[in-house]
Structure 1
């Protein structure tokens, strides 16, 4: 039996105190820019642990060294048809839990080459405009209201 992705994920907006935001370009969809995102590895994996793991895997950043906040916000969205084969048959929606990670400065990132092609640190509005996901863009735009 194939191991299907769990339709519950995290979105981690990584930013500096000056609101420079880290975006990653997807390897499987060049031109699609996003924050760190990823699904739980198991149904009982804690969402905070998922966020820490995904940040480490996708950027090389140790989220435990910085301020990681669960924004207590979740979005339910339809999974793009191109990625539905990764989920069990009949699964069409994902629940995404939003986190913010404030890092000290625009850090050098070590990308997972199978997942991302390149990264950029961008000012808040530019980063939101570049995101392909509306929920990701909205999360970025909410940053100043989180303080």
Structure 2
């Protein structure tokens, strides 16, 4: 199996009323998270990585919802337990944040090799459930990010009228 590319996405799947989908990792029971995944190629567009990972992990078709590039990235140290997936000497990953606005708590079809179960939780509970501090921080930013997106959409609609 080829080494993972240390460039990834985090996709916070949420409803308009700020419920967030979190999933329990199959390879580490008790660890909950949003959708995450690495680029398959160095030139893979980040939005395509986000779409692919959402489809693979949840079965949700992003084309039916609003995939929003939050224009935010972080760099973090890869947990030692997962470093073997990367080339020797790679210890840091750059993660790009996205939101996926769904109209309601849509049903999910989990990939059993990746996740054991999923729950829709109010955003603060979802953030507290996440094992990754940065995943929790991303979820806690959801009210601001959703408000900014809604304002942009309103401005676009007004300009088009």
TM-score range for the pair, normalised by the shorter chain length: over 0.9
Mapped pair 1:102 → 2:91: no
Alignment RMSD, CA only? 0.6
Q: Which runs of 4+ in 1 moved over 2 A?
A: none
After superposition, residues 16-27 of structure 1 pair within 5 angstroms as 16-27=15-26
Task: Give 1:53 shift.
Answer: 0.2
C-alpha separation between the residues in 2 aligned to 1:64 and 1:33?
Answer: 25
C-alpha separation between the residues in 1 aligned to 2:52 and 2:78?
Answer: 22
Partner deviation per Cα, 1:43-62 (whole Å, 9 max, x = no partner): 01000000000000000000
After superposition, residues 22-37 of structure 1 pair within 5 angstroms as 22-37=21-36
After superposition, residues 35-114 of structure 1 pair within 5 angstroms as 35-114=34-113
Relative to the length of structure 2, the TM-score reads: 0.90
Partner deviation per Cα, 1:23-68 (whole Å, 9 max, x = no partner): 0100000000000000000101000000000000000000111111
After superposition, residues 126-141 of structure 1 pair within 5 angstroms as 126-141=125-140
What SS does the aligned partner of 1:73 have?
A: strand
> Which has the larger helix fraction?
2
Structure 1 residues without counterparts, runs of 5 or longer: none
Show the counterpart of 2:117: 118
What SS does the aligned partner of 1:72 have?
A: strand
Show the counterpart of 2:156: none
* Aligned residues between the structures: 146
Higher Cα radius of gyration: 2
Relative to the length of structure 1, the TM-score reads: 0.98
C-alpha separation between the residues in 2 aligned to 1:68 and 1:114?
Answer: 24
C-alpha separation between the residues in 2 aligned to 1:33 and 1:90?
Answer: 27
Structure 2 residues without counterparts, runs of 5 or longer: 148-161
